[in-house]
Amino acid sequence: GAVVSQHPSWVICKSGTSVKIECRSLDFQATTMFWYRQFPKQSLMLMATSNEGSKATYEQGVEKDKFLINHASLTLSTLTVTSAHPEDSSFYICSARDSQGGSEQYFGPGTRLTVT
């Protein structure tokens, strides 16, 4: 149980284009999902907390107009990186908390984004 999927697993895009990443909880409902970014050899950085049916809460320093988050259902949250630039190249990972469970966060496998 507690499986979270992400799609795509990797993506290469040109500078200036937008990329959408999907995060799905496969066997549980997730009122709350989280989006993280991780640069090589660095620790996880929380970008935003996504709540179903409401606006996401962004961490300080994260541009909400650049990283658009939509959590339209209890099993799906999406992150859209708009007007991507090479410095946005990173490993993007989502996690989800089971609405019927405890405080554990279950992570998706991550999406590796490369902007050329």
Partner 1 sequence: QKEVEQNSGPLSVPEGAIASLNCTYSDRGSQSFFWYRQYSGKSPELIMSIYSNGDKEDGRFTAQLNKASQYVSLLIRDSQPSDSATYLCAVKQGGSEKLVFGKGTKLTVNP
Q: List residues near partner 1 by CB under 8 A.
A: 2, 32, 34, 43-44, 46, 49, 91, 93, 97, 102-110
Report the residue number, 44 or 76, with the smaller CB distance to partner 1: 44
What is the smallest separation between the CB atom of 12 and partner 1, expressed in angstroms?
A: 17
- Cβ-count burial of 7 within 10 angstroms (0-12 exposed, 13-18 middle, 19+ buried)? middle
Beta carbons of 95 and 48 less than 8 angstroms apart:
no
DSSP 101: S
What is the smallest separation between the CB atom of 17 and partner 1, expressed in angstroms?
A: 24
Structural tokens at position 26: 């496969």
H/E stretch holding 50: strand 45-51
What is the smallest separation between the CB atom of 43 and partner 1, expressed in angstroms?
A: 4
Report the residue number, 82 or 107, with the smaller CB distance to partner 1: 107
Report the residue number, 58 or 81, with the smaller CB distance to partner 1: 58
